[in-house]
A and B are shown apart, each in its own frame.
Chain A
């Protein structure tokens, strides 16, 4: 099973470990301007947690309720420096997601609906929040966010923004939200946890 010493073709030589040394090695710039939108309280707690990481171009939002026809999102602090609060996040690389207690869902902060938590900045309309983005990741744990999910899906569909849905928890409580997202979301991660959302964002280089 060792590599043939007599290599007959370009393919064999090119695929060898020694040839990997000559691959062009340039830093890969973060490729995507992501918006992460939490549709409900428990999802917002996850989003808030994720937003603390040092992303380059991700911005985090929660969908206000009731969503209303003009559809406003609440910006969470943190996220990418390219639009986040200066100094938000940090410079150390994201640690292994296992450190984030995968599977655990942070409890919803009290008064989430009633008043903006202290770490948020003022509301923005949906289209303003999504302008300039090329991938939207929607986090949901229950059906409360059904209308928002549909509105985001339609908006992204029109603008050619790739949409991904991450359904946190066992998913049964989010059937309607999933159904609302299904026509638009290029991918739905079902029965996901916080670490899945983290891995997705990391893999997408946001």
Chain B
């Protein structure tokens, strides 16, 4: 359980809130690059950390993320005409460049300097990998760009999707470090999902439903090790890294691509779940890529033209009790992503954590909340830069290994949980 005031502290990410300021220390995904596919394409509404913006790509290919509303009389620039190196409000023709600078006010005299004094709030928007990243904090403390492996491998080795999740970011994120639900909720997927099945590790997963956990600090966040019995004298370890504030990776299975998530608050009751798959040393096969596009693995099948999953709360997640009875799915909801999302959304927009009954196996979550709270308070009270800002902290991997029982996963996996270019993931 968590006290109400701490729950509020961790779940509120709007401007000025302690967690909101914490998130504003980091580069975070703002949208997928595919959402702005070409120069002068239509602008896109973006809401992040409870701030409404529009993103656009100008005639020169520059990306901009600016206040959604025109400085003149507040029309939405989502209706803007993206043309001639700027976004023009269609109401009275005011025009802005990617930095939010007003460059034209047609009603003023031709040589008027009025527009120079009109500047919309804007944030940097940078393409790295298949995503556009933004930094919404103080420009003076803008950190170097993110260095997560999944966004730096060649394009043919990586795939990212996103989906709208209708709950607070924290309850979505907590699923990412909660290794004990996999054996239940996702048991169907371990057998059938094309991006999961067939790995030796799955057998250990299914044969031992009571994992043991070890939680250890890392420079950028945590490593959560989940241990299950393997062969005589050995344990099967699944190691989940968390890089603050909201990056988690799933331990790999066999030679399948490795997946993970970035959980981004939209407002306090909605978040974006970015889901990725990549392989450190080889191209994704056509079959793998197609499976990801089709919503298998950690991805979701979305309503065409949107990032809303087809199975969503408005259709009861297409729950299929017959498939559940037949043993195809554990909860009746199909797909790993929506199995998680359906339950996380069912808790309500912001779950009341003062009502929880946690158990020792939830220690990863307990520790993560503690780290978030401490970091938010240290930032607020003392200006301390939180873990995970330094790009060096991003160079982590998940791992799945079999170790002799006496060995500590931390000592034995130091290399396995670090990014080494050209070296495959450690996986069973």
CB distance from A203 to the nearest CB of B (A): 4
In the complex, whether A205 has a CB less than 8 A from a CB of chain B is: yes
Q: Which of B346-385 contact A (CB under 8 A)?
A: 346-350, 352, 355-363, 366-367, 369-370, 374, 377
B contact residues around A204 at 8 Å (CB): 358-360
**Is A91 on the interface with B (CB-CB < 8 A)?**
no
Residue in B6, B342, B367 whose Cβ sees the most chain A Cβ within 10 Å: B367
Contact residue among A17, A179, A200 (Cβ-Cβ distance under 8 Å from B366): A200
How big is the A interface, by class?
A: 35 or more
Which residues of A, 131-166, contact B by the 8 Å Cβ criterion?
A: 135, 162-164
Q: Which of B47, B217, B348 contacts A15 (CB under 8 A)? A: B348
**A20-37, CB under 8 A of B: which get 1 and which 0?**
100100001001000000
Distance in Å: Cβ of A161 to nearest Cβ of chain B: 11
A1, A17, A28, A187 — most chain B CB neighbours (10 Å)? A187
* Contact call B346/A1, Cβ cutoff below 8 A: no
Q: Closest chain B residue to A171 by CB distance?
A: B216
Q: Are B361 and A202 in contact (CB under 8 A)?
A: no
Contact A162 B212 (CB under 8 A): no
Contact A189 B363 (CB under 8 A): yes
User: Which partner residue on chain B sits nearest A165 by CB separation?
Assistant: B214
Q: What number of A-B contacts does a CB cutoff of 8 Å give?
A: 123
Q: B266, A1: Cβ atoms under 8 Å?
A: yes
Whole-angstrom distance between the alpha carbons of A178 and B214 in the complex? Answer: 10
Closest to A162 in B: B360
CB distance from B221 to the nearest CB of A (A): 12
Closest Cβ of chain B to A36, distance in Å, is 13
Q: From DSSP, what is the main secondary structure of chain A's interface residues?
A: mixed
**B406: which A residues are within 8 A, CB to CB?**
179
Contacts of B325 in A (CB 8 A): none
* A186 to B374 Cα, complex, angstroms: 25
- In whole angstroms, how far apart are the Cα atoms of A171 and B374 in the complex? 21
* B6:A4 contact, CB within 8 angstroms: no
Are the C-beta atoms of A187 and B213 separated by less than 8 Å?
A: yes
Residues in A neighbouring B282, C-beta threshold 8 A: none
Chain B residue contacts of A12, Cβ below 8 A: 313-314
Known contacts: A17-B348, A204-B360. The answer to whether A11 contacts B317 by CB under 8 A is: yes
Q: Separation in Å of the B295 CB from the closest CB of chain A?
A: 19
Interface size on B, residues (CB 8 A): 50
Chain B: minimal CB distance from A187 (Å): 4
Which listed residue (B166, B216, B357, B360) contacts A186, Cβ 8 A?
B360
Do the beta carbons of B363 and A164 come within 8 Å of each other?
A: yes
Looking at the assembled complex, report how far the CB atom of A25 sits from the nearest CB atom of chain B, in whole angstroms.
8
CB pair B361–A186 under 8 Å, yes or no, is yes
A28 and B213 contacting across the interface, CB-CB below 8 Å: no
Across the interface, name the chain A residue whose C-beta is closest to B270. A1
In the complex, the answer to whether B357 meets A15 with C-beta atoms within 8 Å is no
B-chain residues with CB within 8 Å of residue A175 when the two chains form the complex: 408
User: Which residues of A have CB within 8 Å of B214?
Assistant: 182, 187-190
Q: For window 85-109 of chain A, which residues contact chain B by CB distance below 8 Å?
A: 93, 96-98, 102
Knowing that A8-B315, A11-B313, A164-B363 touch, tell me 19 more A-B residue pairs with CB under 8 angstroms. A8-B314, A9-B314, A11-B342, A15-B166, A20-B352, A98-B374, A175-B408, A185-B212, A186-B360, A188-B215, A192-B367, A195-B370, A196-B367, A199-B367, A199-B370, A200-B363, A203-B362, A204-B358, A204-B359
Chain A to chain B contacts (Cβ below 8 Å), 13 pairs: A1-B266, A1-B270, A7-B314, A9-B315, A11-B316, A11-B346, A23-B352, A163-B360, A186-B213, A191-B217, A196-B366, A200-B366, A203-B366
Could you list which residues of chain B lie within 8 angstroms of chain A, going by C-beta atoms?
Answer: 1-3, 6, 47, 164, 166-167, 212-217, 266-267, 269-270, 313-317, 342, 345-350, 352, 355-363, 366-367, 369-370, 374, 377, 405-406, 408, 410
